[in-house]
Amino acid sequence: MILILLGPPGAGKGTQAKLISNGRNIVQLSTGDMLRAAVAAGTPAGVHAKEVMDRGDLVADEIVIKIISDRIEERDCRQGFILDGFPRTLMQAAALDKLLLDKGRKLDVVIEMRTGYKELVERIVGRFSCAKCGEGYHDRFKRPHVDDVCDVCGSTEFTRRADDNVDTVTNRLMTYYADTAPLIGYYFAKNILRPVDGMGAIEEVAAQISRELDAIEG
């Protein structure tokens, strides 16, 4: 199955992508994670991306399209994949259509995660993750069971994303509504858009998405 999780920053795409990935054994492809890895590694793409990401703007289409086109060639994508944070522009969506067409594959569904403004900002500003294994946490909604110790790997080091702050959030939301929200219409017109209410608890949202995916797998 090939699916896209679409929604503004803070809608819970990364969290839900991990759950789907574990539950259905399909790989999660997050362009945000890949770009952060490129930034950390200091590659040319990473050097360009860092400044853009810190501002909350979008990295150039050609860069992310190349990253995704290389990545979906890999063996672990044969069973399908979950796109988390890609496509983010109509140009990226058209490029994805072409990539899939060329490979004789097809996009099965686009899950649109809907969330209110207050929740988005609250989720973004409070989130952090384990510096070692990447497990995601939140100051209010998902604290580690033991304070300052990762539930998954026991590490005591945590990080916060440079762009997860109140100043950048407004720009990231503006960018989403200007550049990415047109994709809602794009996929609606192809009749593969399935909206879910992203406001509930993590498990509730996961259950809704699961129902949509089961219906497709039929």
Give the catalytic positions in this structure. Answer: 13, 88, 127, 161, 172
> Can you read off the two tokens belonging to residue 77?
């994508």
> Does 53 interact with ligand AMP (rule: CB under 6 A)?
yes
Give the C-alpha separation, 127 to 159, whole Å: 9
> Does 18 interact with ligand AMP (rule: CB under 6 A)?
no
**Shortest gap between Cβ of 217 and ligand AMP (angstroms)?**
26
Find the binder of ligand AMP among 2, 4, 8, 9 (CB under 6 A): 9
Backbone angles phi, psi at 37, to 5 degrees: -65, -40
Which residues have CB under 8 Å from 18's CB, separation 6+?
28, 136
> Does 64 interact with ligand AMP (rule: CB under 6 A)?
yes
Strand order in the sheet with 81-84: 27-30, 81-84, 2-6, 109-114, 193-197
**Shortest gap between Cβ of 7 and ligand AMP (angstroms)?**
10
Phi-psi group of 191: left, alpha or beta (phi > 0 → left; psi -120 to 50 → alpha; rest → beta): left
> Does 88 interact with ligand AMP (rule: CB under 6 A)?
yes
Site residue total, ligand AMP (CB under 6 A): 18
> Does 46 interact with ligand AMP (rule: CB under 6 A)?
no
Would you tell me which residues interact with ligand AMP (CB under 6 A)? 9, 31-32, 35, 52-53, 56-59, 64, 85-88, 92, 163, 172
